[in-house]
Amino acid sequence: MTTTSAPHTATTTDRDSAASAPRDEDVRLDVESVSELLLGRWPEYRRAARERAGDTRFHKDESLTPAEHRERVLEQMRLMVGDGTKLSWLAFPERMGGLDEPGANLACFSELVAADPSLQIKSGVQWGLFSAAILHLGTPEQQDRLLPAAMDLSVPGAFAMTETGHGSDVAAIGTTATYDPETEEFVLDTPFRGAWKDYLGNAALHATAATVFAQLITNGVNHGVHCFYVPIRDAETMEFLPGVGGEDDGLKGGLRGIDNGRLHFTGVRVPRTDLLARYGTVAADGTYSSPIESPGRRFFTMLGSLVQGRVSLDGSAVNAAKIGLAIAVRYAAERRQFAGGGTEETVLLDYATHRRRLFPAIAEAYAGHFANERLLDLFDDVFSGEHDTPERREDLETTAAALKSTSTRFALDTLQECREACGGAGFLTENRITSLHADLDVYATFEGDNTVLQQLVARRLVADYGREVKGATKTPAGMARFVVERATSAALDRTGLRRVSQAIADVGDPRRAAGHLRDPETQRELLADRVATMVEDVAMALRPAQKAEPAEAARIVDENQTALVEAAKAHADLLRWEAFTAALPTFEDPGTRRIMTWVRDVYGLTVIERHLTWYLLNGRLSDQRARTVTGYVDRLLRRLRPHAVDLVDGFGYGQEHLRAAISSGAEAERQAEARAYYAALRASGEAPVSEKALRKSSR
């Protein structure tokens, strides 16, 4: 798998120990250059998208009822269509009025989260799911016939894949499409309640058509899941068409500007020509044919063509975390609480606990950003056709699953931490954080439940490991070498011999241990070794399942599911560290590069710190070096303290994107007023004497 082994070459710019480097207190972050760099590969498009996200016409209005919010979002989408920028059509072919820029499209989509997540996701349903299904699963004739109305919003659409009884397990959906050769139509049916299409954006109110996924049955043979274009409402009356039924999903925990709903079908007839037929078609007599012979490969190819949802959610989640962090850090740089040794209260960022709450998350946000940029490159390579190969598509699917499942969890955890770090102010709707958290909550489960996605990633890693082992053991000599190397590695690690040698090297000099951890090669070795070891362990544990009876094989897999998920998480950590490290040389200003190296180190070492038990139990770190990790991270956080506001400003979001009262400078004004009041009171000589001071002076 090409994305797991991006080479890393250490350079002098990758370390902050060069003799010519400035002193810590002299370095400054070039905020403007950082913001510019983070615009990525398509800066002009992303800049335009961010400008649109800052436009008040597209902002979320927290005072609206759900019904009002839904209508506002639909009108905002119409504004987007009519603004002349074509930002919503970036991914579509030039012959359709688009710009053929699939990667730029997702970069721009991720910026809409700053305006209103409901607007972002409803737009994603229309152009990233409904329209994209026509584009990627339809033939050129079907694209020409069906796409224009989907693109210009003449036909608002729903993407009807998920069912009440089957979410992530798409292959098992219950809806059927049975071919009738006499009329050359498919008959769409929902055979039981669990097969209702559910949670569908646009379905409750606005959609007049849907791309419906169903089991294609012809001549008595089920050819698996295929997609059909199905009108569902009369565009004039907005009543359901005959045979189509549905209902509103009702009030949700977030994303209340989207009309999520359910659909079901009874004897709905769909013309043969409206089976989206790129990967499978049915002739007039009912004969099925496909360019992909294997039903399993055909299914995964069809679903793989819709991977953009996971890619876009990864970037969106990282951006939401950036917004929360920018609000919380700006507030913490102004808010004062508790007097220290003097008369003035202490700024929150000057507390070690506050730095621990927020600074590692800043580092992870940067790591997530650079990983998403790599993912966008991979997506664009595939969907532009420039490097579209089966292996690249498989890499894209695996990487998207790894990063989406990681970043959405990270965003939710970070927003909650930001909320708590802002105290009561963080709980106020006017300060955005609780609203963002509520809207992003569902990101953890749609476009694939995170735990299911992590299992997908781990299975790919295990499969790759199996292929490597098979290649290494084709000959008796190769088998012997593999067994000896594996046995030697296990002996060194699990008897503690490596730990002993490391402890001897560390004795008497904690700085040596800290310096070793600072080295990028050491960080990469520790992160990569954890992935490799976990994958090997779970692969060996799953090996008996290959020849076991089905029930026994299922038991073995079930026993190792948690290990699979943990291996996938470790893989995502490594991907993000490598992406961050690869980006460091692009910071041209030496001071900025040095600060960003500290930020990278904070990310890498906090990941290692999180899993110190594993490193100790597996003999990868000595006790002394393990103890050094936390101390060195704390030292790095102190170094980053003067640059905290600059680091979140480097994300590139202004107050028009944050829109939180506590990030506006109002707290600084309040603090200045309070400090001026107490200073004047002390100067007047009329300040009351505290009882505590009076008692002390009378002793």
| Catalytic positions, written as ranges | 447
Q: Cα–Cα distance between 319 and 21 in angstroms, integer?
A: 32
Cβ neighbours around 44 below 10 Å, total? 9
Q: How far is C-alpha 460 from the geometric centre of its chain's CA atoms?
A: 19
Q: Cα–Cα distance between 456 and 395 in angstroms, integer?
A: 12
Q: Cα–Cα distance between 73 and 89 in angstroms, integer?
A: 18
Q: Cα–Cα distance between 151 and 258 in angstroms, integer?
A: 18
Residues in the chain: 699
CA dihedral sign of residues 557, 560, 563, 567:
negative
Structure tokens at 656: 């028009």
**Angle between the 390-421 and 308-332 helix axes, to the nearest 10 degrees?**
30
CB 210 within 8 A of CB 160: yes
Residue with tokens 């990469």: 524
Among the listed residues 426, 425, 412, the one whose alpha carbon sits nearest the alpha carbon of residue 318 = 412
CB 469 within 8 A of CB 482: yes
Helix %, strand %, coil % of the chain (to 5):
65, 10, 25
The amino acid sitting at 538 is V
Structure tokens at 261: 């709903």
Q: Cα–Cα distance between 153 and 80 in angstroms, integer?
A: 10
Residue with tokens 């606005």: 206
CA dihedral sign of residues 92, 446, 59, 51:
negative
Among the listed residues 443, 462, 487, 446, the one whose alpha carbon sits nearest the alpha carbon of residue 566 = 462
